[in-house]
């Protein structure tokens, strides 16, 4: 099954495609205090809510959103015209990991919220983003973390290894290894997670009922129901999620092997 179709079905009712509340997202947007003319890059922008809300609050900024999903790009381009038609935003349908700006170290804010897998994990994401971020800029990432040691059955159920994610502290320390200092974190609550997961269950079941002849119905329901079981049995108490705001120093990228 096409992964972008699956994602579009299961995230139909989500405003942001990660386990973060809109209230906390607004806290972050207010905190960022972008200066007039600030340049923003959002890798794996999804439905683009983060970039659109930044443009609503900071109308003099310019922004680039990159995403591989044709469904998300179509959605965010429509949202752009409806909510901030005068904002200087552009959206590119492409693999975010292959995006290279015309000038490195040129963005005042670089973000990749909830898609570190495209760069091979949290460490790879920070390594890539800091090369595009200007000195003294901010880097914003969203990343899972282990609340406690995961059970082997849970790892097998969701198809990851223990080392795919770190602890909350380790996520911060990886930033320091790259010469970045964490200046703020927003941590998702279990309620945030419940909403994020529950909306996927509801969307999948509703879609399946309304598209009984679609050849992907069985695949969608099987995947979502298996994910639901894993979340309820282990994930809710095991896996956390946070948005990390890092400050880049003034000396350019730090070489990291």
In Å, what is the CA distance from 218 to each residue of 76, 208, 210, 212, 222?
Answer: 29, 8, 13, 9, 6
pLDDT at 255: 40
Instruction: Decide if 202 contacts 7 (C-beta within 8 A).
Output: no
- Say if 98 falls within a structural domain: yes
- Say if 224 falls within a structural domain: no
Find the angle CA(3)-CA(153)-CA(170) to the nearest 5 degrees: 80
Q: Which neighbouring-strand residues pair with 91? A: 65
- Total count of domains within the chain: 1
Query: Which residues are within 8 A (CB) of 150 and not within 5 positions of it... i.e. 6 or more apart?
Result: 162, 234, 238, 239
pLDDT at 43: 98
* This prediction's pTM: 0.94
Instruction: Decide if 165 contacts 136 (C-beta within 8 A).
Output: no
* CATH code: domain of residue 26: 3.40.50.150
- Say if 41 falls within a structural domain: yes
- Say if 36 falls within a structural domain: yes
Q: Closest Cα partner for 68 from 125, 15, 114, 3?
A: 3
CA 121/CA 123 separation, integer angstroms = 6
Find the domain containing 26 and state its range. Answer: 13-189+239-248
CA 112/CA 168 separation, integer angstroms = 17
Instruction: Decide if 167 contacts 141 (C-beta within 8 A).
Output: no
- Say if 82 falls within a structural domain: yes
- Say if 195 falls within a structural domain: no
pLDDT at 235: 98
- Say if 229 falls within a structural domain: no
- Say if 217 falls within a structural domain: no
pLDDT at 200: 98
Tens digit of pLDDT per residue, the chain (257 long)? 999 999 999 999 999 999 999 999 999 999 999 999 999 999 999 999 999 999 999 999 999 999 999 999 999 999 999 999 999 999 999 999 999 999 999 999 999 999 999 999 999 999 999 999 999 999 999 999 999 999 999 999 999 999 999 999 999 999 999 999 999 999 999 999 999 999 999 999 999 999 999 999 999 999 999 999 999 999 999 999 999 999 999 754 444 33
């Amino acid at each position: 099954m096409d992964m972008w179709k699956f994602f579009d079905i299961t995230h139909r009712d989500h405003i942001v495609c990660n386990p973060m509340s809109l209230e906390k997202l607004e806290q972050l947007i207010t905190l960022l205090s972008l200066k007039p003319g600030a340049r923003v890059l959002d890798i794996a922008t999804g439905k683009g809510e983060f970039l659109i809300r930044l443009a609503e609050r900071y109308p003099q900024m310019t922004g680039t959103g990159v995403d591989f999903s044709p469904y998300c790009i179509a959605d965010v381009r429509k949202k752009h015209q409806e909510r901030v038609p005068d904002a200087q935003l552009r959206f590119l349908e492409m693999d975010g990991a292959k995006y290279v700006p015309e000038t490195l170290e040129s963005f005042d804010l670089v973000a990749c919220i909830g898609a570190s897998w495209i760069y091979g994990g949290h460490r790879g994401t920070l390594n890539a983003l800091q090369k595009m971020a200007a000195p003294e800029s901010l880097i914003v990432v969203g990343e899972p973390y282990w609340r406690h040691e995961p059970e082997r059955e849970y790892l097998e159920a969701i198809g990851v290894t223990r080392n795919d994610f770190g602890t909350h502290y380790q996520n911060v320390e990886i930033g320091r290894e790259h010469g970045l200092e964490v200046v703020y974190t927003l941590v998702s609550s279990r309620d945030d997670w419940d909403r994020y997961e529950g909306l996927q269950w509801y969307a999948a079941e509703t879609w399946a009922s309304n598209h009984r002849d679609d050849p992907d119905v069985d695949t969608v329901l099987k995947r979502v129901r298996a994910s639901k079981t894993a979340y309820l049995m282990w994930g809710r108490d095991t896996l956390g999620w946070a948005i990390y705001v890092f400050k880049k120093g003034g000396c350019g990228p730090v070489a990291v092997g």
